[in-house]
Chains A and B, each alone.
Chain A
């Protein structure tokens, strides 16, 4: 059974601070996805990481993948209030006829002024 664990589950941080969200997954997958969800809204794709050592950056967010450690990180630089949301990582796996995503429990980020 695939298992994806995120920590922390809740993160309250001040504007301007840096922090990292961790995502541990259970298989040797080399495909890891990050999504963002605003309260009451749907999920929006943020990053696609497709190989060991992959690093993607968008604004104040940077995601990386270490397949040997089965670890992905989402680093937040100089947080701003607009980044307040829930962030999910998801591990991709294939069943032969389709690929599936197994999601972590999410990290709710609250950026305070």
Chain B
């Protein structure tokens, strides 16, 4: 039981390049989330998916797209990376509506955009 896994762990991009961050969970959770963490700003929600087939914008969605591929996987895509997207990205999951709000976090992806 691996919990929440993220790939890659580290990535360096040049401005304008695109990439997809992958997230998978093996806990049969319904809801999944993408956050970014910047120094002094805590975690900010980018997008979330309440259940398979649905996605919604969070606090800072501009410059990102997401896909809830199936119940296990939730990917985050940067179409044209900008230096302002340099951050640590965390994926999280939780059982679903009506259950605990406790989210379980992946190990993070450290992204640098030059």
Contact = CB atoms under 8 A, between A and B. Distances in A.
B43 A100 contact: no
A101 B40 contact: no
B103 A105 contact: no
Contacts of A105: 40-42
Contact of B97 (A41, A45, A98, A102): A98
Given A42-B106, A97-B51, A88 B43 contact: yes
A33 B102 contact: yes
B26 interface: no
Interface residues of B, number: 30
Interface in A59-89: 88
A98 B108 contact: no
A104 B42 contact: yes
Contacts of A44: 105
Contacts of A12: none
Contacts of A98: 31, 48-51, 56, 97
Interface of B: 31, 33, 35, 40-45, 48-51, 54, 56, 58-59, 90, 92, 94, 97, 100-108
5 contacts: A4-B42, A43-B92, A99-B94, A99-B97, A102-B59
Interface of A: 4, 9, 31, 33, 41-45, 48, 88, 92, 94-95, 97-106
